[in-house]
Amino acid sequence: MVNQKSRIVLALGGNALQANPKDTRAEAQIVTAAQTAKPIVDLIEGGHELILAHGNGPQVGQIVGTYESAAAGNPSLPVMPFPECGAMSQGYIGYHLQQAVRQEMVNRGNHKSVATIVTQVVVDEKDEAFKNPTKPVGSFFTEEEAKVLEKEKGYTMKEDAGRGWRRVVASPIPVDVVEAPVVKTLVEAGHVVITVGGGGVPVVNRNGSLEGIPAVIDKDFASEKIAEILDADFLIILTAVEQVAINFNTPQQKNLDRITIEEAKKYIEEGHFAPGSMLPKVKAALKFVESKPGRRALITSLEKAKEGIEGKTGTIIVA
């Protein structure tokens, strides 16, 4: 159970922004954000300092795809660089969330301010992830088109599950959050802050200058990093399931209520968590709990967030 007046980083999964993954309209996201705001404001009303983080996979892919489609019809149009597309997604998702959270608070007589910080996240240029880009983004292309893009733009293109060829980018581990001091100042002043959206815009430090690079930082690891920097008490990762499970989707499935660091590491070694799904969530939660004595992490669904916060469900990871 979350202690009274804790500092909490809340990492929102894709279902917190898009109830139907196939419906990527801005109007649909506004509707979903209004529902997402309710459990968020429950926490705020509990007296907690809240920092919100979120993913941006479908949204940034849609932005990239729109520019690619436009350029395909008119080659004179420039394609927006990938870091700028990530910043765009942070802005418009943050806009929807801050509107929804603010309105829900106003409905309850609370007049805290909500602010979105377009956040840059530093990564190591020598991260092994850059040697093997795996994160697909943007539109589908034919093999012939993909080869032209590789030659002309230097993209890395890979075939995606028989559906066509797509650009892939690296997914490096976050090292630092550039705007963390700004976020901390706002939180300590009593404001609700939305940060590291989509994992943040990845940047590398080259001779003192920050340069955006085409990559996607996992939002769970970015959430963990900002939680560490801000000395949060609790990291809560919201996902599509109520609890973490071992032997998932088999007759031997076992849902986990409370696990220790040692148990979590054992389950990871045994391969219980899918690499593109639950594994990064468990690893991020584990990293946060290990970072300082007394820190805890919770993984649960958006629908069960309030009960998870009360210690009635979800999977809590403790030292």
Taking the C-alpha atoms of 283, 286, 288 and 291 in order, what is their torsion angle to the nearest 10 degrees?
A: -120
Residues 128 and 58 in one domain: yes
Residues 221 and 258 in one domain: no
Per-residue confidence (pLDDT) for residue 115, from 0 to 100:
96
User: Domain containing 62 — which CATH number?
Assistant: 3.40.1160.10
> Is 2 a member of any domain?
no
Per-residue confidence (pLDDT) for residue 291, from 0 to 100:
94
pTM: 0.90
Residue that is last in its domain, among 194, 212, 232 = 232
Rg of the Cα atoms in the chain: 20
Residues 178 and 63 in one domain: yes
Per-residue confidence (pLDDT) for residue 2, from 0 to 100:
55
Residues 85 and 223 in one domain: yes
Per-residue confidence (pLDDT) for residue 127, from 0 to 100:
95
Residues 269 and 120 in one domain: no
Residues 314 and 197 in one domain: no
Per-residue confidence (pLDDT) for residue 167, from 0 to 100:
84
Per-residue confidence (pLDDT) for residue 91, from 0 to 100:
96
The whole-angstrom separation of Cα 171 and Cα 129 is: 6
* Domain span holding position 42: 7-133+170-232
> Is 153 a member of any domain?
no
Contact 141, 79 (CB under 8 A): no
The number of folded domains in the chain is 2
Per-residue confidence (pLDDT) for residue 3, from 0 to 100:
53
Residues 184 and 38 in one domain: yes
> Is 92 a member of any domain?
yes
Per-residue confidence (pLDDT) for residue 14, from 0 to 100:
74
Per-residue confidence (pLDDT) for residue 286, from 0 to 100:
96
Residues 91 and 74 in one domain: yes
Give the up-direction half-sphere exposure of residue 71: CA atoms within 13 A in the CB hemisphere: 14
Per-residue confidence (pLDDT) for residue 92, from 0 to 100:
94
Residues of the chain where predicted confidence (pLDDT) is lower than 50:
none
* Cβ neighbourhood burial of 263 (10 Å; 0-12, 13-18, 19+): middle
Tokens of 252: 């031997």
Per-residue confidence (pLDDT) for residue 254, from 0 to 100:
93
The residues annotated with a catalytic role in the active site are 14-15, 135, 219, 281
Per-residue confidence (pLDDT) for residue 1, from 0 to 100:
54
Residues 128 and 205 in one domain: yes
pLDDT digits (tens, 9 = 90+) for 111-155: 899 999 999 999 999 999 999 888 887 778 889 988 988 888 888
